C-alpha cells in the first residue's frame, strides 16, 4: 500500500499544475478584494468558476439544454451557480478583510480578472476536459489506498489495447464477443470509458456495448458511485432498442445490488421518454421497469429525508 509520500512522488506533474491553476480561480477574487475593486468583479470570477466546473466536472451539470425545462434540474443548476458565487464572494471578502487589517494593495483591474481567465486558458492546454476522467480515476485510487483499501490494478495500457480491439469488432458484434474483447477491463477503468468517448459521436456500437457492460457491472458497484458515467452512456445509446433494453435490464440488476447508485443513473424522465419512443415493445417495457425503479428509489430517499428532518 502506498503512503502519502509515495503518492506524492507518483502523482503526475500535470496534476500538480492543475491544482495550482485551480487555486488561481480563487486568487483572482482575493486580489480583487485586497485591491478594493468594484463588487461586480465577484460575478466575473464566479463565471470563470462556473466555466471551469462545466468543463472539468460536467457530470454535475445538465447534460442537455432540454433538461433545463424541468424544475428540479433548474433548481439544481441555480444551486450550483449560487455555490460558485458564494465561493468567489468569500474570497473577495477575505481580500477586503486583509485590506482592512494590513492595508490595501493598488492593482489594475485586469490583474484580478486576468488571473482566473489565464488559469483556465492554461488548464485547457495542459489537461483536456475529455481526458479529465483519467485524472479522477488516479485520485480515486489514491484515496482508496490512503483509506486502507487495496490499490486498483493499473489500467492505461489495458485500456488502449481493449479500445483497439473494440474498434476492430464488426458493427453487429454480440454481447459475448464484446465481453470477450473487454477481458481485463473493470468497472474502475475510467480510462477505457474516456477512450470510448473519443471514438466518435456516437461511438461504434461494439464500444457502446462495452460501455454498458462496464457501467452496469454489479460486481464493481462501489467504484461507480458519483461518477455519472451510466447517464452519459444512456445518452449515447439513445434510439437503439436493443442497447436500451440491455442497459435497462443490467441497470435493474445493478440497482438490486446497490440501490444507492440510482443517483448516478439517467433521469427517470429521460428513461420514460426513451420508452415512449422505442419501437420495440420488449425494450419499452424494460425501460419502463427501470423508470419505475428509479422513481421508487427517489421517493424512498425523499421520505427518509423528510422523516430525518421531522426528528
pLDDT of residue 7: 42
User: Cis before residue 291, ω within 30 degrees of 0?
Assistant: no
Same domain, yes or no: 162 and 143: yes
Range of the domain at 102: 4-130
Rounded Cα distance between 251 and 221, Å, is: 11
pLDDT of residue 175: 78
Same domain, yes or no: 145 and 108: no
The residue out of 105, 130, 155 marking a domain boundary is 130
State which residues of the chain have pLDDT below 70: 1-15, 58-60, 63-70, 127-164, 168, 183-192, 194-195, 197-202, 219-228, 303, 305-311
Same domain, yes or no: 38 and 146: no
Same domain, yes or no: 115 and 201: no
pLDDT of residue 181: 72
Same domain, yes or no: 122 and 136: no
Q: Are 226 and 260 in contact (CB under 8 A)?
A: no
pLDDT of residue 53: 84
The residue out of 114, 130, 146 marking a domain boundary is 130
pLDDT of residue 188: 46
The b-or-e profile of 253-280 (16+ CB within 10 A means b, else e) is ebbeebeebbebbbbbbbbbbbbeebee
Rounded Cα distance between 106 and 26, Å, is: 18
Q: How many CB atoms lie within 10 A of CB 66?
A: 11
Q: How far is CA 84 from CA 46, 90, 225, 298, in A?
A: 5, 10, 23, 26
Cell 476492430 sits on residue: 168
Same domain, yes or no: 247 and 179: yes
Apex 138 CA angle, 263 and 122, nearest 5: 100
- In tens, the pLDDT along 210-255 reads 888 888 877 665 555 545 678 778 888 877 888 899 999 998 988 8
The b-or-e profile of 150-169 (16+ CB within 10 A means b, else e) is eebeebeebbeebbebbeeb
pLDDT of residue 269: 84
Same domain, yes or no: 297 and 161: yes
In three-state secondary structure terms, 39 is: coil
- In tens, the pLDDT along 115-127 reads 999 988 888 887 6
Question: What is the 3-state secondary structure of 129-149?
Answer: HHHHHHHHHHHHHHHHHHCCC
Number of structural domains (the chain) is 2
The residue out of 130, 161, 194 marking a domain boundary is 130
Amino acid at each position: 500500500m502506498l503512503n502519502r509520500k509515495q503518492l506524492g512522488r507518483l502523482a503526475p506533474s500535470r496534476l500538480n499544475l492543475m491544482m495550482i491553476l485551480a487555486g488561481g480561480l480563487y486568487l483572482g477574487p482575493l486580489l480583487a478584494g485586497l485591491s478594493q475593486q468594484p463588487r461586480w468583479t465577484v460575478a466575473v470570477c464566479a463565471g470563470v468558476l462556473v466555466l471551469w466546473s462545466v468543463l472539468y466536472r460536467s457530470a454535475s451539470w445538465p447534460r442537455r439544454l432540454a433538461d433545463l425545462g424541468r424544475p428540479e434540474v433548474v433548481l439544481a443548476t441555480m444551486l450550483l451557480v449560487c455555490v460558485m458565487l458564494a465561493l468567489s464572494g468569500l474570497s473577495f471578502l477575505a481580500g477586503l478583510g486583509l485590506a482592512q487589517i494590513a492595508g490595501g494593495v493598488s492593482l489594475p483591474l485586469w490583474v484580478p480578472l486576468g488571473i482566473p481567465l489565464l488559469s483556465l486558458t492554461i488548464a485547457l492546454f495542459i489537461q483536456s476536459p475529455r481526458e479529465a476522467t483519467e485524472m479522477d480515476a488516479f485520485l480515486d485510487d489514491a484515496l482508496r489506498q490512503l483509506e486502507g483499501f487495496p490499490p486498483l490494478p493499473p489500467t492505461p495500457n489495458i485500456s488502449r489495447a481493449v479500445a483497439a480491439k473494440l474498434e476492430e469488432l464488426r458493427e453487429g458484434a454480440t454481447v459475448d464477443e464484446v465481453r470477450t474483447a473487454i477481458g481485463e477491463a473493470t468497472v474502475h477503468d475510467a480510462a477505457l470509458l474516456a477512450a470510448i468517448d473519443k471514438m466518435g459521436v456516437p461511438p461504434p456500437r461494439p464500444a457502446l456495448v462495452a460501455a454498458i457492460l462496464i457501467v452496469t457491472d454489479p460486481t464493481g458497484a462501489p467504484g461507480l458511485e458519483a461518477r455519472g458515467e451510466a447517464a452519459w452512456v444512456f445518452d449515447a445509446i439513445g434510439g437503439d432498442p436493443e442497447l436500451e433494453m440491455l442497459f435497462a435490464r443490467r441497470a435493474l440488476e445493478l440497482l438490486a445490488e446497490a440501490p444507492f447508485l440510482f443517483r448516478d443513473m439517467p433521469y427517470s424522465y429521460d428513461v420514460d421518454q426513451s420508452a415512449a419512443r422505442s419501437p420495440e415493445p420488449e425494450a419499452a417495457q424494460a425501460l419502463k421497469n427501470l423508470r419505475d425503479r428509479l422513481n421508487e428509489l427517489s421517493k424512498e430517499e425523499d421520505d427518509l429525508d423528510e422523516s430525518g428532518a421531522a426528528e
